[in-house]
Chains A and B, each alone.
Chain A
Amino acid sequence: MIDPGKAVKQSAEKPAPPVAAAPKLFAGVIFGLVFGFLLQKGGVGKYNVLVGQLLLQDFTVAKVMLTAIVVGMVGIFALHHFAKVNLHIKPTRIGSNIIGGLLFGAGFALIGYCPGTAAAALGQGSWDALFGMAGLVAGSWIFAEFSASLKKTVEKWGDLGKMLLPDLLHVPRGVFVVGFAVALTALLLLLQRFTTR
């Protein structure tokens, strides 16, 4: 099967060393600092902002995510068009996407942080994020324990492989990106108009 995302730099399959190369790690540190800074400034390290979104009272999370998607999408597909970046597409497995997604959501409501925002919350001195982060480590381990049997069962249900929305709907990617950017921007304008925060 052809990878729909490859444009440049065929990344050769080789065994991963236990520690990645220093320049790559350095970039990761810089980008992580910026990410954590933005998450905290965006208020999405706050329990009440995150739970407020799930209670449909505070729409900060939706506004941050949708804006990031519009800006990110336009840039990434432009860069990809000119063969400057690879896409990184995870396979669509409808069964595990749905079941995993629902479990994730249930956990999200219980912690009140998600994996990235828990890190930002810990940084801002919301120490209860530590309990959630410990649970995240434990849950990852439990998944690993069951990974062999899950691979043979749930992860086979509705396996479509790597699949993009425009390809699924048979629309040219460029057309889809422009249309979707307009639609999501309209949604953001509606959110801005009808929500207090």
Chain B
Amino acid sequence: MNARANTHTVGRLIPKRAVYLIGSLALLPMRAAVAAEPGVNALNYPGPAWSPYVVGAGIGVLSWLTFYFSDSPIGASSFYAQVSGFIGKLFAKRHTESLAYFKDNPPCVDWEFVFVVATIAGGSIAAVTGGEFANEWLPPMWVARFGDSIALRAVIAFGGGILMAFGARLAGGCTSGHGISGTLQLNVASWIAVVCFFIGGIAVAMTLFKL
């Protein structure tokens, strides 16, 4: 049955006060779907090629293998720190080596570095073989909301990248390192971080797309 079609009646039947009373976390998805214009409704754009459960289970099994064979959890964000360290050493070697973060984590082509580079190639193989190669500078859903200026997209994405990397380093990981590898090891830090990822993300995304 189509859940989205139901939400209209649900919205009318339940008095407004009761909706607020319930706390609305469970109702937020429905309310969001009701409020969405076609252009800013994510469901009007292509979804995954494979079942999310198959992909999730695959990533779970992959993490067994990386732990067993490489003694490493899956992670991505430190790759960007390595790249920034290499670039820093190129232009200001002394200064870079004096920074506390790079003293603790000297830039190095390590397992995670090649892992992330290979992730790019893996994404290509999947997209090309699945007939999903995008070859586009702007996601259609972005265009529907913010127009077709590549410069605007570049500025927002670059600024978002700065916030995201700063946050990842402070929190100790990203959606891979904390969100998958840390949570599956039941790390308290990771569960706190991943909940905050989504609180921050939902707040800003709702502001960007709903106001």
Contact = CB atoms under 8 A, between A and B. Distances in A.
A binds B: yes
A103 B163 contact: yes
A41 to B, nearest CB: 4
A139 B166 contact: yes
A68 interface: yes
Nearest to A134: B158
Interface residues of A, number: 138
Interface in A63-103: 63-73, 75-76, 79, 84-94, 96-103
Contacts of B67: 76, 79, 85-86, 88
Contacts of A47: 139, 141-142
Contacts of B205: 51, 54-55, 109
Contact of B132 (A109, A124, A148, A188): A124
B175 A72 contact: no
A127 B42 contact: no
Contacts of A102: 167, 196, 199-200
Nearest to B174: A115
Contacts of B199: 101-102, 105
Contacts, number: 595
Contacts of A104: 163-164, 167-168, 171, 174, 193, 196-197, 200
Contacts of A28: 70, 72, 110-115, 118
Interface in B112-169: 112-127, 130, 132-142, 150, 153-154, 156-169
Interface string A108-125: 111110111101111111
Interface string A1-42: 000010001010001111110001101111111111111111
Contact of B186 (A11, A58, A73, A142): A73
Contacts of A25: 109-111, 114
A189 B88 CA distance: 48
B156 to A, nearest CB: 5
Given A57-B41, A140-B169, A112 B139 contact: yes
A168 B2 CA distance: 42
A33 B112 contact: no
| Main SS class of interface, A | helix
B200 A101 contact: yes
| Main SS class of interface, B | helix
B154 A131 contact: yes
B61 A139 contact: no
A120 B185 contact: no
Nearest to B202: A54
A76 B184 contact: yes
A107 B187 contact: no
A110 to B, nearest CB: 3
28 contacts: A9-B71, A25-B109, A33-B122, A35-B74, A35-B118, A45-B123, A48-B141, A49-B42, A56-B29, A71-B59, A89-B187, A97-B189, A101-B167, A101-B193, A102-B200, A104-B171, A109-B203, A112-B139, A124-B134, A125-B136, A128-B153, A132-B157, A135-B161, A140-B77, A143-B170, A144-B85, A164-B186, A196-B3
Interface of B: 2-4, 28-29, 32-33, 36, 40-43, 45-50, 52-53, 55-77, 79-81, 83-85, 87-88, 96, 99-102, 104, 106-127, 130, 132-142, 150, 153-154, 156-206, 208-210
Interface of A: 5, 9, 11, 15-20, 24-25, 27-49, 51-60, 63-73, 75-76, 79, 84-94, 96-112, 114-117, 119-129, 131-145, 147-148, 150-151, 154-155, 160, 162-166, 168, 173, 176-177, 180, 188, 194-197
